[in-house]
Amino acid sequence: MGRKFFGTDGIRGRTNEAPMTAEIAQRVGQAAGAHFMRGDHRHRVVIGKDTRLSGYMMESALISGFTSVGMDVVMVGPVPTPAVAMLTRSMRADLGVMISASHNPFFDNGIKLFGPDGYKLSDETEARIEAILKDDPKLVPPAEIGRARKIEDARGRYIHFAKSTFPEHLRLDGLKIVVDCANGAAYQVAPSALWELGADVVTLGVSPNGFNINDGCGSTSPAMLQARVVEEGAHIGIALDGDADRLIVVDEKGTVIDGDQLMALIGVSWAERGLLRGGGIVATIMSNLGLERFLEGKGLGLVRTKVGDRYVLETMRGEGYNVGGEQSGHIILSDYATTGDGLVAALQILAGLVESGRPASELLRQFEPLPQLLKNVRFDGGQPLETSPVKAAIADAEARLSGTGRLVIRKSGTEPLIRVMAEGEDETLVAEVVDRICEAVKAAA
């Protein structure tokens, strides 16, 4: 069985439409539970969620699936994705589940699975779970049905963990921080952690109602944060996405700083302190060519992977790196976490801000990015990238950018989109080639 359900970041889709229905969620619980039921101990799964209305439905369906095959369930409520990964390990659970569609609108939802080590599942493990899905579940006898319970201190445990990654000799006293939690999973934990470290905290996106997650706020919509940082005279702004595994920063002037700049700062800082492993960092094919050239100038390397923080992490683990991430703001610091963690990454940036005494606009501008343009084209089916006109447009673009830039064309792993990205030294040329390819894709879609 192929990857019918799993994409680049678990299972995701529009709620109440396949594959994001209660029925399929129950079957996923049964299949994943069956796969991880090994040994004769009481088996346990940790389930967290973000603030979407559909989270209640998906949570109930997953609980039904897991308990029906004999697995106990621990519910931790709305917490960031990295909190689920951390709690799965600390509670010695066999499996962790995060119910979230990350930065997508409220009407989407998703299921992310973590193994007992707190890492996202490999493609091979997901394929084995999909293979189990096609068979009838093996239900346990009534006396062996799993139990479900909720723990109330999950947020406190995560706040303690996040604060432990911040240097003990530093505090955030005197720092005014605007934090935008996207009306998502971190709406309580992020402001609390920053306040406990001494910051003057101004909050945005901390009033979830089931519908407003990522709606005009958070890391994918930073305009409100930009305006508020300037209005408040804040030193810095922090934006998380719906499940808080992504970070975007706004400097004191209201300028957005992306993940490439943040990785550059952390990577070079750690290298100077002898903490960086692997001789560089890991990023995806979408990271700016300016980052690669900057790191080379510092004697550091950049290893590129497919898009998806799971692929970044696989390379980090396989080749011994401890800093990696994506331009979109997924930053993985494997000394602390097994997945992207927006709050933990933000604390590293804030530590640098405190220690340097420099304004964010200076500290966070590590390199001059090359002109880069990304456009998305929605399609309703078929294989637009396989058509002759699209292939011709791509070939022409590659020839025109040769030696001065890059071209990346790919299907989204989470939405029906073709993503067209180009970068190069000539901004006009970059725009021309992207527009021509997009027009060709639209005509073929």
Domains 6-152 and 259-363 share a fold: yes
What backbone torsions phi and psi does residue 83 show, to the nearest 5 degrees?
-70, -40
Q: Domain spanning 6-152: which superfamily? A: Alpha-D-Glucose-1,6-Bisphosphate, subunit A, domain 3 (3.40.120.10)
pLDDT tops 90 at residue 253: yes
pLDDT in tens, 169-227: 999 999 999 999 999 999 999 999 999 999 999 999 999 999 999 999 999 999 999 99
Per-residue confidence (pLDDT) for residue 394, from 0 to 100: 95
pLDDT tops 80 at residue 341: yes
CA-closest candidate to residue 205, choices 233, 186, 192: 186
- Where does residue 196 rank: exposed (0-12), middle (13-18), buried (19+ CB within 10 A)? middle
- DSSP result, 230-286: HHHT-SEEEEE-TTS--EEEEETTS-EE-HHHHHHHHHHHHHHTT---TTEEEEETT
For the chain, what is the mean pLDDT? Answer: 95
Q: Domain spanning 259-363: which superfamily? A: Alpha-D-Glucose-1,6-Bisphosphate, subunit A, domain 3 (3.40.120.10)
What tokens appear for 331 in the block? 């930053």
What span, in angstroms and rounded, lies between the C-alpha atoms of 327 and 248?
A: 9
What span, in angstroms and rounded, lies between the C-alpha atoms of 336 and 314?
A: 16
Handedness of CA 242, 315, 422, 439 (dihedral sign): negative
**Whole-structure pTM value:** 0.90
Per-residue confidence (pLDDT) for residue 1, from 0 to 100: 40
Ordered by start, the domain boundaries in the chain are 6-152, 157-255, 259-363, 372-444
What tokens appear for 289 in the block? 């060519």
Tokens 């220690």, residue located: 355
pLDDT in tens, 73-104: 999 999 999 999 999 999 999 999 999 999 99
- CB-based contacts of 304-307 (< 8 A; 24+ apart in sequence): 306/8, 307/8, 307/410, 307/413
Per-residue confidence (pLDDT) for residue 167, from 0 to 100: 95
Per-residue confidence (pLDDT) for residue 432, from 0 to 100: 95
CA-closest candidate to residue 251, choices 196, 191, 177: 177
- DSSP result, 128-171: HHHHHHTSPP-PPPGGG---EEE-S-HHHHHHHHHHHTS-TT--
pLDDT in tens, 284-340: 999 999 999 999 999 999 999 998 888 999 999 999 999 999 999 999 999 999 999
**Residues paired with residue 78 on neighbouring β-strands, in sequence order:** 49
CA-closest candidate to residue 123, choices 244, 5, 283: 5
Strand, coil or helix: what is 61? helix
Would you say 306 and 282 are in contact if contact means Cβ atoms under 8 Å apart?
Answer: no
Q: How do strand 44-49 and strand 95-99 relate by DSSP bridges? A: parallel
pLDDT in tens, 142-184: 999 999 999 999 999 999 999 999 999 999 999 999 999 999 9
pLDDT in tens, 363-409: 999 999 999 999 999 988 778 899 999 999 999 999 999 888 999 99
66 Cβ contact partners less than 8 Å away, ≥ 6 residues apart: 29, 30, 32, 33, 45, 47, 72, 73, 146
The model's confidence at residue 411, banded by pLDDT at 50, 70 and 90, is: confident
Q: What is the mean pLDDT of residues 116-130?
A: 93
Catalytic residues, by residue number, are 102
Q: Domain spanning 372-444: which superfamily? A: Alpha-D-phosphohexomutase, C-terminal domain (3.30.310.50)
Q: What is the mean pLDDT of residues 258-278?
A: 97
Tokens 């958070």, residue located: 218
* Domain 157-255 architecture: 3-Layer(aba) Sandwich (3.40)
Q: What percent of the chain is predicted at pLDDT more than 70?
A: 99
Whether the bond into 369 is cis, omega within 30 of 0: no
